[in-house]
Every structure is written in structure tokens, then in C-alpha cells.
Amino acid sequence: MSDAPHSTKAEFDFVVVSNRLPVDRVTDSDGVASWTRSPGGLVTALEPVMREADGAWVGWGGQPDLTIDPFENDGIHIVPVDLSAADIEEFYEGFSNDTLWPLYHDVIAPPAYHREWWESYVRVNQRFADAAAAASAQGAVVWVQDYQLQLVPRMLRESRPDLTIGFFNHIPFPPYGIFSQLPWRLQIIEGLLGADVIGFQRVADAGNFLRAVRRLTSFPTRNPAIEVSSAGQPTRRVVARAFPISIDAKSFEELAREPRIQERAREIREGLGNPRTVMLGVDRLDYTKGIGHRLKAFGELLAEGRVNVEDVTLVQVASPSRERVAAYMQLRDEIELTVGRINGDFATMSHTAISYHHHGYPRDEMVALYLAADVLLVTALRDGMNLVAKEYVASRFDDDGVLVLSEFTGASDELKKALLINPHDIDGVKDAILQAIAMPAKERATRMRSLRKRVLENDVSRWSSNFLHTLEQARASRYDRISPVQLPDELEWTVDRRWSD
Ligand code: F6P
């Protein structure tokens, strides 16, 4: 990766703003610093988009007090934003990941509400907005990403009315019955309404947002448009709708077709003792991912003798995440205790029950793992999209492999030919695992072909061009009064009415 310094002038016509940059600064035990790829689906999706565009990416470099000049990395102009240790504690670990994250994921863990975290969130959002404004040319398009930066659209609108502003929420947007807990709910809605287009993963998320707007403001709405007025400003039309995110599907297929990757997949299976079935879980170590539910189901199947370790192995990749947040520390202890217990009870000298890996792997190794896995288990309790499911499908050019997919992921709206499960129903998960293991080759191929068609057609470039095209249209009609705007709905959706009031 090259670190060529770059100019800081306001020269970019396209600017992406996200909490994390696509690369994280890491320092090894000898104090040598380097950049590595950042974790998470946001980077997976946006990196190929940014490589195509001649834009700037504004974000944090992953370490405290990192004051570095803008630079170019693998063809992307990087504009770092500095966060202090206190900002990381209060804005990132606190308000973003201990308030908003659990609140937006169905309160699976209890959200904490602290006024000083909120104040830090406002301050840091202002810093991101200022950095984005400084990098943006007159009339530029600025695309703000995710729940950490929900105040940035309004802040940008106030300082730079010339900009066209998009916002995309990568995680779910909660039903009003849950969202209304947030003491700063109105400020969040007003922050988001600074954008011209607000994108969500699912139709249900966009519906939840529109309901929150109706409950908290008097702005007229007509799905998908909202008419926003504020003192001294002309009335603006804002569009809020679903744009389900995806991956660069072709690049996964291309890698999977490489003989060296296929050879590596064979090696992986051999290393596991060539069991008949390899099952795989790939997640950030996060309580939303339902890793414990998956282990419980597998452990019970082993205990009941319905599967045995000679025949079936589970590989669990759990990449480290938010390790200083208490709920994540506790989760790690629970998961590792459970893995240890299951292995202690069921492993033999030649076969382990669960091959557990607490680190991330490079893309090549992940694709080899996808090829090696007969079954991918996605048991998230709530997930904005789940791009791992799409990566698995994109990699299976051989039309083989079975996807077991939680209905609480955004991906389940599209990937109907997966074995859909309710992860809370442990007996149902066990049945799906057994069905996946026993599925005849013909049925596996039929299902995988249909899944692949979906993922290869709706890839990330289609996602970004849909969003940016809608943003362009919205800019052109920003001051039109509400009329029934006919925006193409690419996919068929069912509206999730749970929790809504
Ligand atoms: O997709 C959700 C998300 O929080 C992204 O915003 C983020 O980049 C990724 O997951 C990883 O999380 P974090 O940046 O907290 O490590």
C-alpha cells in the first residue's frame, strides 16, 4: 500500500464519509506502523465503488490521536479524521456501539444512555462534517455512511447548501416502539433529514424511519418522500427508501475459480480430517450474530448422537470486534467457554467438533473456506444485510453448498432459496442443519443456482448506481412539492410489521 501524501484542497466532486476508513493503522510489537484492511461489510461494499470513482474517502484511521495528512491508498484518496482516546471511548465505543448499536438491533443487549456520550457524538459528527466540507468541491456529491454519523447530513447542509447529500444506513432502523427510547430521537431524525436521499437496507427499515418522522415531526410524508421545512429555508423534498446493499460478486467468483484457491480448499478439508460435511460460520464476534444459538444447536445434535465429529465439523471464524466494550468482552468469554466445552465433550484424537478462529483472514483464505464448506450457517438475531451470505453464494461457481440463513437478516428478503430459519427456535435450527447435511446434490444445485442469479445480478455496482442515480434525481427535484414520485422498486419486499405501532 502506498502512502503518497496528497493535497488537502477542496477539490473532490465525490466524497464518501464513514466512521472507519477502508484501512486501519496498526502498530506491531516493535512499534512499526502499517495499514491493514478494516473489518466489516461497509468496507467490503464501498471499496470497489471508490476504486471506480475518482473521489475522496473521509474517515478515522482506527487508532487514537492519529494526525496524518491525506494520502493515496490503492487508488483511493484517503482523508483521515483524528479521534482522541476520549472520542473513541465516548463517541465510538460509547454512543455508537453501546447506545445506537444495541438500540438499532432490537435491544438484544440493553442500550446505555449517557449525556456525555451524546455530547461527544455531536462534537465528533461536527468534525466529520467539517472534514467532508473541506474536501468537497463546489456542488459536490457527499455520501455519508452509517449510524455513527447520523448528524452529519444536517451539519453539512447548514455549512454547504451547494452540496448534494446522500446517507446510507448499513444497519437496521428500529421500529418506533424501540427508537422512541432514545432521549435524542428528534435530533437524530433532524440530522438525517439534512440529506437529499436516505437509504436503508430493507423496506421495513425505511418504513420504520418514515413512521418515526411522522411521530416526531409535522412534516408531510408521501412514501418515499418527506417535505422538510425549517425557518428561513425553502421547503425541501427528501427521499427515504430501501437500497439493499451487495458485494462485488464477480471478484469472489473469479477468485474461487483460481486453481490455487481450490487447492487451498482441499487442504483445509484435509486439515480437518476430511469429514463428510464441513459447516462454516463467519462473523465479527458480535452479540447480534447469534453465534451462541448456532453452537447450542450443534452441541445438542452432537449430544443426541444425531451427528458425530467424524462426519461433521463446524469451522467458526469469529473476527475480533469492539473489544473494549463490556458486552463484547462478555460475549467472547461465553462463546469461548461454550466452544471449549463442546470440544472437550465430543472431540476425538483425530477430529475436533469446532475449529474456532478468533481472527480475520485475507480474502483469498475466506474464498477457499467458502469452497471448502458444504454448509454456511448464518444465525444472526438481527443484521442489516449480512454480506457473508452473499460472499458464500458468489464464491460457489460450482452450484454446490447449502446456505442456512436467519430470517432476521436483510439478505433473507432476497435469498429465498436458502434454508430460512428463526435462530431463536433451536429445534428449527437443528432441523435445518440436518436438512442441509442430507440435502441431495440435485436440490443443492437448484437452490444455489437461484441464489447465485440473485447475487450476481444485484451486485454492489448496481446498488451504488441505483443510489447515486436516485440522489441525482432527488437533487434535480429538491424543491418540487410532494407528488407521487415513481421510483423503481427493484425487488419484491415484505414489510416487517413486528414491533411497529
Ligand atoms: O456495518 C456496520 C459496521 O458498524 C460498519 O459501520 C463498520 O465499519 C463495521 O460494521 C465494523 O464495525 P467497527 O467499525 O465498529 O469495527
* Ligand 1 atom nearest residue 41's Cα: 1
The alpha carbon of 321 and the centre of ligand 1 are apart by a number of angstroms equal to: 9
Q: What is the pLDDT of residue 362?
A: 94
The alpha carbon of 43 and the centre of ligand 1 are apart by a number of angstroms equal to: 8
* Ligand 1 atom nearest residue 321's Cα: 16
Query: What is the arithmetic mean of pLDDT over 315-325?
Result: 97
| pLDDT tens, residue by residue, 404-432 | 999 999 999 999 999 999 999 999 999 99
Percent residues over pLDDT 90 in the chain = 85
Go through 300-316 and write b for each residue having 16 or more CB atoms within 10 A of its CB, e for each that does not: bbbeeeebebeebbbbb
3-state class (DSSP) for residue 144: strand
Place of cell 443426541: 304
Q: Is the pLDDT of residue 105 over 70?
A: yes
| pLDDT tens, residue by residue, 380-395 | 999 999 999 999 999 9
What global pTM score does this model have?
0.93
Q: Which letter does DSSP use for residue 458 in this model?
A: S
Q: What is the pLDDT of residue 483?
A: 57
With a CB cutoff of 8 Å and minimum separation 6, the contacts of 25 are 33, 34, 35, 61, 62, 63, 66
Cα separation, 197 vs 190, whole angstroms? 13
| pLDDT tens, residue by residue, 48-97 | 888 888 899 999 999 999 898 999 988 899 999 999 999 999 999 999 99
Q: Is the pLDDT of residue 307 over 90?
A: yes
Q: Is the pLDDT of residue 299 over 50?
A: yes
Task: Report which protein residue has its CA nearest ligand 1's atom 12.
Answer: 40
Cα separation, 403 vs 377, whole angstroms? 7
Task: Report which protein residue has its CA nearest ligand 1's atom 10.
Answer: 40
Q: Are 382 and 172 in contact (CB under 8 A)?
A: yes
Q: Examine domains 12-242 and 249-457 and report if their fold is the same.
A: yes
Pairing of strands 164-168, 136-145: parallel
Task: Report which protein residue has its CA nearest ligand 1's atom 7.
Answer: 40
* Ligand 1 atom nearest residue 43's Cα: 8
Report residue 496 as a C-alpha cell.
416487517
The alpha carbon of 101 and the centre of ligand 1 are apart by a number of angstroms equal to: 10
Cα separation, 193 vs 231, whole angstroms? 14
55: left (phi over 0), alpha (psi -120 to 50) or beta: beta
Q: What is the pLDDT of residue 31?
A: 87
Q: Which letter does DSSP use for residue 481 in this model?
A: P
Task: Report which protein residue has its CA nearest ligand 1's atom 15.
Answer: 322
Q: Is the pLDDT of residue 253 over 50?
A: yes
3-state class (DSSP) for residue 72: strand
**Domain spans of the chain?**
12-242, 249-457
- Mean pLDDT of the residues in the chain: 93
Task: Report which protein residue has its CA nearest ligand 1's atom 3.
Answer: 40
Q: What is the pLDDT of residue 9?
A: 67
Strand order in the sheet with 277-284: 354-357, 312-319, 277-284, 375-378, 402-406, 419-421
Q: Is the pLDDT of residue 130 over 60?
A: yes
Pocket test for ligand 1, best of 42, 104, 152, 285 (most atoms within 8 A of CB): 42
Cα separation, 60 vs 42, whole angstroms? 14
Q: What is the pLDDT of residue 41?
A: 79
Pairing of strands 402-406, 419-421: parallel
Q: What is the pLDDT of residue 39?
A: 78
Report residue 371 as a C-alpha cell.
469452497
Q: What is the pLDDT of residue 1?
A: 39
Cα separation, 481 vs 472, whole angstroms? 17
Domain 249-457 falls under CATH 3.40.50.2000: yes
| pLDDT tens, residue by residue, 200-242 | 999 999 999 999 999 999 999 998 999 999 888 889 999 999 9
Place of cell 418527506: 226
The alpha carbon of 277 and the centre of ligand 1 are apart by a number of angstroms equal to: 31
End-to-end CA gap in the chain: 50
What's the CATH fold of domain 12-242? Rossmann fold (3.40.50)
The alpha carbon of 17 and the centre of ligand 1 are apart by a number of angstroms equal to: 13
Q: What is the pLDDT of residue 216?
A: 98
Cα separation, 32 vs 22, whole angstroms? 20
